[in-house]
Amino acid sequence: MRVCVACLAGLTALGSVALAAPAPQSDSLPTYYLRGYYNLDNQRPQWQTSDDAPWSQVKSNTPWVDSRLVKYGYIPFTHDSKNYYCWIDTAPRTGSHVIERTFLCGDPATVQWLFQNNWKPNVPMIGGGPPLQKSERPPPSPTPNHN
């Protein structure tokens, strides 16, 4: 009986040590492969097709990152060895129940200018979007046959 109690006490002690050990944490930040994004400028965001290079999120304590922009909602990224701030819009498009992420990205100088001028990015309601592929276009409506 003493052996069973000792064994049970030993297993309990091992279990508590295992539970107290920190879980391995991943320091990696998300990487995205975008089909396209809205390029921020001082006029109106314009749709840009992206290449196959990844968009890698950068830690907010990276030297070039402005903490005020991060606090405001911009997320720092690198793409093709260039720095960007992206505003990620997760709201569904008007009239849609499908939630998609829309990336509005700009170089640090442009985003800083927009921030200083109290401009909040938003996706244009018309125009500026990606061109529809043939498979996404609605079929042509039949023309009436007048005899």
The per-residue pLDDT for range 116-125, each reduced to its tens digit, is 988 877 766 6
The per-residue pLDDT for range 56-111, each reduced to its tens digit, is 999 999 999 999 999 999 999 999 999 999 998 877 666 666 667 888 999 999 99
Q: Show the DSSP H helices in the chain as ranges.
A: 2-20, 67-72, 108-116
Asked if residue 144 has pLDDT above 60, the reply is no
pLDDT at 101: 80
Can you spell out the DSSP letters for 123-136?
--SSSSSPPPPGGG
Asked if residue 22 has pLDDT above 70, the reply is no
pLDDT-derived band at 13, boundaries 50, 70, 90: very low
**For residues 109 and 40, is the Cβ–Cβ distance under 8 A?**
no
Asked if residue 42 has pLDDT above 90, the reply is no
Tell me the pTM: 0.64
* Residue 60: closest CA among 37, 80, 77: 77
pLDDT-derived band at 20, boundaries 50, 70, 90: very low
